[in-house]
Amino acid sequence: MKATERLIGLVESRGVAKTAWFVASRLLRYQDELLYAAEPAACGVPFVADAVTLVTVDAANIDRALPGPVHRQLFTGEGRSYHGGIGRGDLAFVLLDGSGALLHHSFVQFAVRTKRLLGEAEEVPLIAHCITVPAARGRQLYPRALRHIMHALASAGHRRVAINCDFDNHPSIHGIERAGFLRVARLRSLIVANRWCIQMRSPGGLRICAL
């Protein structure tokens, strides 16, 4: 009954056409992505730069590693899920300038559903949610951060690292390839009710999986 009441409320507030589009967008989602992978021992290089500090955030230091404003930037709103992931073993790699302001962040995820979509094993670290603030772009911070992450993961014994991005995100593609990652596949996925995926993988062909 509550679901019906919510649907009626949507129709009354949005109209029939907008409600139909809203419902369809929740049931079906299309993604066109590229999957990359690398052997971290072959590409990893520690990050070194004047006036830039790299902070590794893990479960042990999550509430004290970063300046308060940066912590709130990363872990409020949608970022709460990443905060929870770090509590379960994920990592964040954060670049700060000399005043402690955020320049770049990248996360490394382990037990995450996205790997089912990508066809990657659970033990393979997945680099995700990588953002360089606009004022810091053009300094190659992204590929340098990726190489540092691979150095850290190689030191932890990992032999494969994966990363994905949208098919048309050319700046991200450039940074990923500059860091030494090789393209594995293009993934065109129709996601149904956030539970099932019908995917054309190139190379690889048609694939259906549960998420």
pLDDT at position 6 over 50: yes
Q: Specify the pairing of strand 126-132 against strand 161-166.
A: parallel
Beta-carbon contacts of residue 152 (< 8 Å; ≥ 6 apart): 44, 56, 91, 93
Domains of the chain, with CATH numbers?
A: 37-162+169-183 (3.40.630.30)
The mean per-residue pLDDT over the stretch 171-181 comes to 97
What is the per-residue burial (b if ≥16 Cβ within 10 Å, else e) of 144-173? bbbbbbbbbbbeeebeebbbbbeeeeeebb
For 92-107, the pLDDT digits (tens) are: 999 999 999 999 999 9
The proportion of the chain whose per-residue pLDDT surpasses 90, expressed as a percent, equals 78
The answer to whether residue 166 scores a pLDDT higher than 80 is yes
Nearest CA-CA partner of 109 in 184, 164, 191, 170: 164
